[in-house]
Amino acid sequence: MPESTRILESQYFYEDPFSSVVPPIYLSVAYRYVDDEESVRDDRGEVVKYSREENPTLRPLERAVAALEGADDGLAFNSGMSAIATTLMAFMRRGLRALTIKEMYSTTIQLLEELVAMVGGELVKVYPSTEAILEEQKGRKYDLVVMEVMTNPTLKVIDVSEVGKVAAEAGAALIVDNTFTTPILVKPLRSGASAVIHSSTKYLSGHNDVMGGVAAANEELVEVIWEWRRRLGTAQQPLEAYLTYRGLKTLPLRFEKQSRTAMALAEFLRDNSKVKSVNYPGLPDDPHHSVATRLFDRQLYGGVLSFTLREGPDAAKKFLKSLRLAKVAPSLGGTETLVTLPALTAASNISPEDRKALGIEDSLVRVAVGLEDPEDLIEDFARALSSIS
């Protein structure tokens, strides 16, 4: 079934007395409750009595993401980091041994370091490549592996199918952040992942105006994560869940448009004399093109790219200030094109030594492509590049 149909089908489970086409927003904090026997339950069987625990507005979004990812169910959170933190809590055990990559979102790495230290465990970070992850697992036993399919900001692509196979054989749980690739390109649960996470702030909601996160997994794990969400109070608010689900309905259309525009922009930048290098797996000469082409369900490569300017960080800042159409701001996946310097934003907490090894130079520019016309965007970038002396 096509993704667009799966998304829309997920909302038709309400017994709404008004037969509304769009699921309503339930803003009530509390619901009538005498005891569990007389209470109202949602489609998951959870008692609906207090919105910190369960709110019916979240269910269309949770069901839709689960359907897209091939999961039993999903859970919505009030931010991407809430989704990551709450999911990680379900795996924390005393003496845990965890493996991750050095080019994860830096706040995720910080959180992992602190949580693993709190349980007296060990966290090992390796270079973000399929080979490095598999090699590290050969001689050592890990309980948990945490990774992204496409790294931020240098767009390295890790073969989650290979990592998932080895993790399953070793009895390790695998958590995959699928924010950059989305289930349009990759469905990590099919490759042996235990849980998949999204910052729904990005592509899923898609309009740069909603904060949220989603996790999807099998029914047993969802129940455990749900308990942690209840305790931590990290459930998404109903209005934000409603808006995220509304945005999700256009994900397939937006993601294709953004991917095709990103390809056109990457080709333009590759041929510009002021650009030293371009990171985008859609380019045939990109080192990750072959694995991305083999791994992705469609011949699309996402709406994010990055490039390094020849003349250094001052030129990069001047370039950003000269843009007119694209906006200088963090985040990605929305309707507006956003441009940022990762060394000052998403990668700022990564050590200078690791940034150098990963190819995150101070003059590296990350572009999160929006829905503008590609010719207009290229014209904007050409004008800004020409301003660099």
Q: Are residues 165 and 313 in the same domain?
A: no
Is there a single domain that holds both residue 43 and residue 80?
A: yes
Same domain (yes/no): 242, 295? no
Q: How many separate domains does the chain show? A: 2
Residue 52 is a catalytic residue: yes
For residue 106, give the CATH number of its domain.
3.40.640.10
Query: Buried b vs exposed e over 129-165: b needs ≥16 C-beta within 10 Å?
Result: bbebbbebbeeeebbbbbbbbbbbbbbbbbbbbbbbe
226 and 267 belong to one structural domain: no
Q: How far apart are CA 57 and CA 94, in angstroms?
A: 36
Asked if residue 174 and residue 285 are part of one domain, the reply reads: no
Rg over alpha carbons for the chain, rounded to the nearest Å, is: 21
Provide the 10 A C-beta neighbour count for residue 272.
16
Q: Which domain holds residue 326?
A: 251-386
Of residues 73, 105, 143, 242, which has the active-site annotation?
105
Q: Is 16 among the residues known to form the active site?
A: no
Q: Are 12 and 59 in the same domain?
A: yes
Of 33 and 193, the structure prediction assigns the larger pLDDT to: 193
pLDDT, position 351: 84
pLDDT per position as a tens digit, 225-263: 999 999 999 999 999 999 999 999 999 999 999 999 999
The residue from 248, 272, 289 where one domain ends is 248
Give the residue from 248, 271, 292 where a domain finishes.
248
Catalytic annotation, pick one of 125, 202, 229, 355: 202
Single out the residue in 202, 222, 248 at which a domain terminates.
248
Determine which one of 73, 177, 286, 380 is catalytic.
177
The reply to whether 136 and 256 lie within a common domain is no
Residue 346 contacts residue 330 (beta carbons within 8 Å): yes
Q: What tens digit of pLDDT does each residue of 261-280 get?
A: 999 999 999 999 999 999 99
Same domain, 130 and 256: no
Instruction: Identify the residue with better confidence: 335 or 32.
Output: 335
Q: What is the mean pLDDT of residues 299-308?
A: 98
pLDDT band at 52 (very low <50, low <70, confident <90, very high): very high
Catalytic residue among 44, 52, 260, 327: 52
pLDDT for res 159: 98
pTM above 0.85? yes
Q: Is 105 a catalytic residue?
A: yes
Residue 13 confidence (pLDDT) above 70: no
Q: What is the pLDDT of residue 220?
A: 98
177 is annotated as an active-site residue: yes
Beta strands across the sheet bearing 144-148: 73-77, 213-217, 195-198, 173-177, 144-148, 97-101, 122-126
| 203 and 78 in a common domain | yes
203 and 276 share one domain? no
**Residue 11 pLDDT greater than 70, yes or no:** no
- Do 227 and 300 sit in the same domain of this protein? no
Question: Does one domain contain both 267 and 238?
Answer: no
